[in-house]
C-alpha cells in the first residue's frame, strides 16, 4: 500500500545548483533570439547615450564631477552639496545601498554640466557622521581652469589613519 508514496519525488526535488534544465528546440531558438535582441538593445543604448551626451554636454564645455570614498571608516556620508562659482549646481542624499557601493570602490558621477572656458571655483559641502558617530560637516574647494575638451574632477573622501579623521580633497583628471 505504498503506491502513493512521495519519497522519490521528494528526493528528486531536492537537487539544486545544477545547470538549467535543457529546453526544447523551440526554447533554444527563442533563447537565441532573445540574446540577439539584448545585444542589439545594449548597443542601441550605448549609441543613444553617446548621442545625448554629445548634444547635451558637448566636449568643449563639459565638466563632470565624480565622488569616491576610500575605506570610509571615519566618515559615513549622508549628503553632499556642490557649488560652482558660488551657484548651487546639485545636492545629493545617499541611501545605504549607494553608500555601500561607494565603500566597495564605486565612483559616483555626481554632476555633469557645461561651463565656459576660463577659471572656475568648485565648492563641495559634505554632511554625515564622523568619528565616534558625531555629526560632521566639512567643505573643500578647488579653483580650476576649464579648457577646451571635457574636464573631470574627482572629490575623494579618504581616511587619514594618522589623524583618525576623514580627509577631503579634489583632484583634477
Q: In what order do the strands lie in the sheet with 135-146?
A: 87-93, 76-84, 118-129, 135-146
Q: Give me the phi and psi of 151, to 5 degrees please.
A: -120, 130
Interface with another protein in residues 90-109 (CB under 8 A): 97-98, 100-102, 104-109
Per rule CB under 8 A, is residue 18 in the interface with another protein? yes
Q: For Cα atoms 46, 31, 44, give the angle at the middle one, nearest 5 degrees.
A: 10
Rg (CA), the chain: 25
Q: Which is nearer to another protein, 53 or 167 (CB)?
A: 53
Give the span between the Cα atoms of 108 and 90, in whole angstroms.
13
Q: Which is nearer to another protein, 49 or 79 (CB)?
A: 49
Among 14, 87, 134, 135, interactor with another protein by CB under 8 A: 14
Binding site for another protein (CB under 8 A): 1, 3-7, 9-11, 14-23, 26-27, 30-31, 33-35, 37-42, 44-53, 55, 58, 66, 68, 97-98, 100-102, 104-109, 152, 154, 173
Amino acid at each position: 500500500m505504498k503506491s502513493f508514496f512521495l519519497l522519490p519525488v521528494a528526493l528528486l526535488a531536492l537537487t539544486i545548483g545544477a545547470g538549467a534544465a535543457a529546453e526544447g528546440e523551440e526554447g533554444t531558438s527563442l533563447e537565441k533570439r532573445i540574446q540577439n535582441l539584448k545585444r542589439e538593445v545594449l548597443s542601441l543604448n550605448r549609441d543613444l547615450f553617446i548621442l545625448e551626451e554629445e548634444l547635451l554636454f558637448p566636449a568643449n564645455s563639459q565638466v563632470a564631477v565624480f565622488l569616491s570614498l576610500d575605506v570610509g571608516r571615519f566618515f559615513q556620508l549622508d549628503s553632499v552639496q556642490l557649488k560652482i562659482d558660488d551657484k548651487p549646481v546639485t545636492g545629493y542624499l545617499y541611501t545605504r545601498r549607494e553608500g555601500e557601493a561607494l565603500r566597495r570602490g564605486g565612483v559616483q558621477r555626481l554632476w555633469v554640466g557645461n561651463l565656459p572656458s576660463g577659471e572656475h571655483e568648485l565648492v563641495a559641502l559634505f554632511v554625515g557622521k564622523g568619528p565616534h558617530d558625531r555629526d560632521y560637516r566639512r567643505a573643500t574647494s578647488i579653483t580650476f581652469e576649464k579648457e577646451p575638451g571635457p574636464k573631470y574632477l574627482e572629490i575623494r573622501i579618504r581616511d587619514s589613519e594618522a589623524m583618525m579623521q576623514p580627509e577631503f580633497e579634489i583632484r583634477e583628471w
